[in-house]
Structure 1
């Protein structure tokens, strides 16, 4: 019997208006997730001296900055795990509403913070919403889009985070040293709640799972071998990506500044040009890599796309560290550096929801992504210690880049999901 000819239509040909709407809403939520997360990095230079006192030792200011980042990291992890389970229990729409309100309202309340302890509590609560929204939105996009469009839609969803980083930068420029007003802007995403309530319907797959008694059960997730293995391996895979993000990808700015200083540039010029190279040039390559993961996953399979990106990331790190000898050469290499080291992250939104059944999808995806976030914390700490001990940022970043090899091993142990229906 003859096989039917392959569908030659573009992937978006059969996507409905409602499916595009869901992608737009999920992406808007994720954009503001990234915005809220980046806002502290943009404002900390003005916020912390004011809250701690202008005469505070710079070392103490830095320590509090690191502490607040750690608080946000833990809050995001707990939020992703908690709200992923909640989304499997009560539904995608109400949980998305809750997470958006969490991160927008508590961000706005930061305007009234009078000491670092109040800000720490508020940043923790913001992080709960930020971590939770990703798990809910990733599951929603995967469930609403047809199989032939799922990978591309999920990659687009994750890639929009770059817009949030740029928005945070613009907000920082707009408010200048008046950091409190940046957090007032952080209330704006609360308006998304009206759109979510009016437009989003619970996916048919989730409604069919309503009769399952143990929806969102961590005991089932880790107690059932079929789901426990991908959950554990998924956490480790995300640990590689998130650990190398903080230890390797963000070092693009440090590598550029080091090159400029070695070339004779003043500290001020080196700092300014390095920020431009990292914030614009490398970020553009990172965004392109995130968008391209979807088409790669459709052509090569999920495992093939991950393997290719990890292998090329492993190769591009020493090239970026040692090949450029001038600032302009570095500007040519940084987009490739961002493409491969950061583009991997879109794969988590594509792959993790495909590993788990309807009644555990948001739970499993949230545990994988945010469990990796938590395990990446020691890498973040260790990368700083390694760079200080070695003294040469190029060698330190090259050594940290070897973590991408672990990703190659992990993805080899994981299942292929391309062309397969979502587990029920």
Structure 2
């Protein structure tokens, strides 16, 4: 059977644009909830929570919603990756974007805190899936010579979304005032304006989160399917997937939620000690890995029986799944332990304000701009050197920049924002590297599922590590020392990467 026609340059560009916009909106929504989550919960909880209980109840719900997001994204990465390998990248990416856009928009109509938890869990399924599918699609459509640019663009996209959130936060009062005037001028009632724009306009901002659904029309009309996936379909290799294997993903998601619950305030209230939580974490994380790997393992077994792959290929894929997930988990844990804490730390009592205002917003802008810059630089370096050496250098640079930021700043000033730029960029350089490297670890038949597993299981590792921050603060006595301690994970990456395959110069299988 002849190979499908090679996509035109327009088709490749439209695929990159669709993936870029999808991940940009992912980043915007991920950064948006920390901005509007607390006013949203204050609004929803005010009618049935006593004022003296509000802070504690709000913090618990906030933790639960963040945890459900991380587990949902991990689950969605595997589920939609599986769907992309089975029915095609383009169709599955359309479904994933529709999922996160529509269910983010529905959050704007929530009337209870648990509504947001459930809706954001479903939305995050699509967010986790969109990354794996977009990376697989553009890598398979673009030529090898352009893949470093593609990886950098995808790595920068989410951070541009974070940058937009920081800019929105700076102009929030002006934004709300303008939208209120427009609502009334267009004939909207005072009640509608209050409903949409009170409490920092959280309902309005959630509702407009549905706008990325418009990207689906762009994808379905202009974006071609991967010719590599079409070849796999023509060869019958997409028929080895089975829906029943998704039960493992469901079991894995439940186990992940149990881990997060055991370390959360709810688990502590239930009498779960740190020792018990550690045991639960080890056991349940083994279940997570087993469950999320089940669809791929079953696929590989069927494909080997049918003669579609060799035993050596099956073993190599399983090894790369574990290595890729661990390398991604190290990077994600470092990010959540360092760069993601910088805005919060900037307003803490550990730093002197020195007359600066809007410090958290400008800190996020500094880290986001750095992330955008270094996301483009990392894949270029990986093409000049090689994949393993580049990852090693990124680990060295990331841990050095984090220690520089948290150990040399005692107050807000020019050096604070300069070091924030460096830390934000160097810890985020991995997100330009992974769209280049992870596709090279897997053949086309399991590429989307493999990437989804590797990158998104890393989110669960990051969630587990992030839940230890309070314990680390108690041990080290300060937030800066706790964040620095979490960044020691990069030393594991420096050693582990030498066991990963070197893929520079090798064509995608």
Question: Is the TM-score greater than 0.5?
Answer: yes
Aligned pairs (5 A) from 1:79-98: 79-98=76-95
After TM superposition, the structure 1 stretch with the greater mean CA deviation from structure 2, 211-220 or 26-35, is 211-220
Select the residue among 437, 443, 450 that pairs with 1:364: 450
Q: Hey, what does 2:229 align to over in structure 1?
A: 206
The structural deviation recorded for 1:169 is 4.2
Maintained 8 Å contact 1:36/1:103: no
Aligned pairs (5 A) from 1:5-404: 16-53=9-46, 55=51, 56-169=53-166, 173=172, 174-175=175-176, 177-210=200-233, 211-212=236-237, 213-215=239-241, 217-220=295-298, 224-258=314-348, 262-263=351-352, 265=354, 272-326=357-411, 327-404=413-490
Q: How many corresponding residue pairs?
A: 404
Seen in structure 2, the aligned counterparts of structure 1 residues 255 and 52 have a Cα distance that, compared at 3 Å, is closer
Separation in structure 1 between the aligned mates of residue 361 and residue 114 of structure 2, nearest angstrom: 33
Separation in structure 2 between the aligned mates of residue 222 and residue 240 of structure 1, nearest angstrom: 27
After TM superposition, the structure 1 stretch with the greater mean CA deviation from structure 2, 158-167 or 102-111, is 158-167
Maintained 8 Å contact 1:142/1:354: no
The structural deviation recorded for 1:136 is 0.5
- Residues 223-253 of structure 1: per-residue CA shift (max 9 Å, x gap): 6311011100111111111111111112323
Separation in structure 1 between the aligned mates of residue 338 and residue 213 of structure 2, nearest angstrom: 34
In the alignment, structure 2 segments of 5+ residues that lack a partner are 1-7, 177-196, 243-294, 302-313
Separation in structure 1 between the aligned mates of residue 361 and residue 102 of structure 2, nearest angstrom: 32
Separation in structure 2 between the aligned mates of residue 278 and residue 262 of structure 1, nearest angstrom: 13
The structural deviation recorded for 1:151 is 2.3
SS in 2 for 1:417: coil
Q: TM-score, normalised by structure 1?
A: 0.90
- Residues 253-283 of structure 1: per-residue CA shift (max 9 Å, x gap): 344445x755475xxx66x443144211222
Q: Which runs of 4+ in 1 moved over 6 A?
A: none
After TM superposition, the structure 1 stretch with the greater mean CA deviation from structure 2, 235-244 or 78-87, is 235-244
Separation in structure 1 between the aligned mates of residue 95 and residue 149 of structure 2, nearest angstrom: 27
The structural deviation recorded for 1:356 is 0.4
Q: TM-score, normalised by structure 2?
A: 0.75
In the alignment, structure 1 segments of 5+ residues that lack a partner are 1-14
The structural deviation recorded for 1:189 is 0.7
Seen in structure 2, the aligned counterparts of structure 1 residues 262 and 248 have a Cα distance that, compared at 3 Å, is closer
Separation in structure 1 between the aligned mates of residue 76 and residue 449 of structure 2, nearest angstrom: 11
- Residues 99-157 of structure 1: per-residue CA shift (max 9 Å, x gap): 11101111111121100111111111110111111110010011011111112212211
Separation in structure 2 between the aligned mates of residue 375 and residue 264 of structure 1, nearest angstrom: 33
- Residues 335-374 of structure 1: per-residue CA shift (max 9 Å, x gap): 1111211112222211111110111000000000011111
Seen in structure 2, the aligned counterparts of structure 1 residues 57 and 152 have a Cα distance that, compared at 3 Å, is same
Maintained 8 Å contact 2:241/2:299: no
After TM superposition, the structure 1 stretch with the greater mean CA deviation from structure 2, 47-56 or 190-199, is 47-56
